[in-house]
Structure 1
């Protein structure tokens, strides 16, 4: 264990950004996937002050004299992990680094992800070395409402610097992972009843004492924001019955709902399309047992064909190494019917859209964040490697992984 920790510490130093200051830098690739249109042969991305200043064919896109140029066989936007618990859940899998779930109560929407996020967790470095530049992370399954999520960049040394959206979604869970017959809830009906009760209470006018309104409790403030559609409710649901319960809740309260997991979503194509929800689909290679026993490797392709917006994720792992890598999940989806360009968009542009960050990340476009992943071959091929990672104009990794 000591040797392993020493190796991981050395790896963290090797891939950590040398400086927090944005650089003026250019990336030139034999094939450049901008996710804004067809791939560009011999493409260039110019980054100034952390933002993309120019992108296009090398023949018509000048690289300023003296600017550092990184070269690659293939370059893509920085990868976007649409759902993870990395930063709250650590690789040691011990109580001191497992902050993704507080079991003291079944409904705790007031728990902030940023308060539990550790930007120096080794798993953050690990994901970054595989081209992941943006993560939607936070509280995980195990309670009816486990807390909040956040969107973060994977380079920063403090949670405040990493967070670009401190509160992104509220993480709810339906099904066996959130059942507890000793502390409750012990049934699916009770799970929904708890959610319905919280939202119903938040619908009521704020209590008034004399001429002054009493301030809401923290949890009530959160539920009022959900009702006002300022923040979506992300519901982890894999069985059709749980997905349908989430959709009924959406209709009853007029709230924004995102389906997380969705192992049996391929059985509810019409219902999902009519509801207009986004699915943050379970990792392609997730183990098919329990409430995921009917999961399919081809679900990503099915959702894409049906026109249902979705993204891929690394998700939550209750065992070491505690995280998956979305690059591999996308590759497996491509091997099971999802077109390669759509597999890449499921971890870039479509993932950014799913978490509400399409205006900043997910594609290479002038004005967007300077996040680029560089490869020595096809990103979805197992034999290819990430050779460098740029985040907000910073060279965040130069390790071949």
Structure 2
């Protein structure tokens, strides 16, 4: 049997953590052999590349954690570890661009409507079982966001779902920084019931504009100080460092991707006007249930959306939601991704994508793109994950049937070429976690949190 550190490194720690370790277990060769092979070949599969079509009876070669070959055949070494995936399907790892997994009840710092210096990494609990459940659904990357209590919330953390490893080992290396904004009902409710600003949409946007006016003044004071120093003024006094204003200044400098919780068509237009006024770009609107009304106006800005497939009616802002929103917006030129915002939905994002074929007639590739490459773009990591292309990270999922089917089940998940989930191993099957999944379904929502 593999040593505990070896098992831990390859994700099998879930067996220990769940208390369901059964011995003896025949672990994959990749986890049991010292000097494990660095080459893995998945062959005879239906390979859904996302970027260059679907290859019947295709192969994917992963070398040293990167995709080294994709095609009908690959030129892998003879001693590569080979998985015969005949009758199965292979896709890139699923990417969730809006998650609150592993943040517990710390998703909102609801003590002020402007908290951009909050860091979600400080709330990240890498032991959360929701991460393992997402992994079992083929999710390999997640953007863990601040909640939507505030007009300007905290800064997100991006993870690779290497469940069983340390917190630092789960961080996505050099992922761009994102920050969470929110407008509409949530900040209105949180502060309005305290009789504080903002309690209206007018208050929402006043708070936002004032925050950026403060940031501009802060930047100007530092610019003036730096100019004096550059001229040799030894008496120049540096302004006081302010973490909140530093973060807002980074938004204005374009150093933070702006991710905005927003539902209504009129608010998309207001948010874009404010972004233009202060000179920053919006990366994506999240939820965006009324984007179908103004997709032609938002598409030219380059702003994407991360939306639900068919959630509706759960709050006033969601009454005009329609399940055709994603495809209609895509047809207008908007970059569309699907997301979970739920420890329950994250386990079946593949099925959410499948709905897009039904609602609006998306092709399989367009639907799959919504949970892979487009989601990766929203996070800013599409150059490294989101499709099966040579040079990208070896984040690969093997499915028993077409992943857009309701019958689809994950067989294996590789992240950076390492095996992190294998349904054939005792303890890895979802039956052991059925009760935990039921518990998880109620963990992700918060009355002051992201969507309820």
Deviations 1:327-381 (Å, cap 9, x if unpaired)? 1211222221222211101111121122211110001112110000101111000
* In 2, Cα distance between equivalents of 1:243 and 1:363: 29
1:172-187 map, 5 Å: 172-179=181-188, 180-181=191-192, 182=194, 183-187=196-200
Query: SS of 1:364's equivalent?
Result: coil
* In 2, Cα distance between equivalents of 1:67 and 1:79: 25
Query: 2:243 maps to what in 1?
Result: 218
* Closer, same or farther: CA 38–26 of 1 in aligned 2, 3 Å: same
- Is the Cα contact below 8 Å between 1:237 and 1:262 reproduced in 2? yes
1:331 aligns with 2:338: no
* Closer, same or farther: CA 176–229 of 1 in aligned 2, 3 Å: same
* In 2, Cα distance between equivalents of 1:289 and 1:175: 14
- Is the Cα contact below 8 Å between 1:262 and 1:280 reproduced in 2? yes
- Is the Cα contact below 8 Å between 2:38 and 2:80 reproduced in 1? no
- TM-score, normalised via structure 2 length: 0.79
- Is the Cα contact below 8 Å between 2:176 and 2:380 reproduced in 1? no
Give 1 or 2 for the bigger CA radius of gyration.
2
When you count helix as a share of all residues, which structure comes out higher? 2
1:23-38 map, 5 Å: 23-38=38-53
* In 1, Cα distance between equivalents of 2:138 and 2:280: 33
Query: 1:395 maps to what in 2?
Result: 419
Deviation of the 1:192 alpha carbon: 0.9
Query: RMSD value over aligned CA atoms?
Result: 2.7
Query: 1:71 maps to what in 2?
Result: 84
Query: SS of 2:101's equivalent?
Result: coil
Query: 2:133 maps to what in 1?
Result: 126
* In 1, Cα distance between equivalents of 2:401 and 2:15: 30
Deviation of the 1:10 alpha carbon: 4.5
1:146 aligns with 2:159: no
Name structure 2 gaps, 5 residues minimum.
1-13, 229-234, 424-428, 431-452
1:14-93 map, 5 Å: 23-58=38-73, 61-72=74-85, 73-88=88-103
Deviation of the 1:113 alpha carbon: 1.5
1:366 aligns with 2:390: yes
* In 2, Cα distance between equivalents of 1:301 and 1:270: 13
* In 2, Cα distance between equivalents of 1:36 and 1:206: 47
1:1-400 map, 5 Å: 9-10=18-19, 23-58=38-73, 61-72=74-85, 73-88=88-103, 97-156=104-163, 157-164=165-172, 165=174, 168-179=177-188, 180-181=191-192, 182=194, 183-204=196-217, 205-207=220-222, 208=225, 210-257=235-282, 258-281=284-307, 283-290=308-315, 291-315=317-341, 317=342, 321=344, 325-337=348-360, 338-399=362-423
> May I ask how many residue pairs the two structures share in their alignment?
383
* Closer, same or farther: CA 133–323 of 1 in aligned 2, 3 Å: closer
- Is the Cα contact below 8 Å between 2:309 and 2:355 reproduced in 1? yes
Deviation of the 1:119 alpha carbon: 1.7
Query: 2:449 maps to what in 1?
Result: none
Deviation of the 1:246 alpha carbon: 0.9
- TM-score, normalised via structure 1 length: 0.88
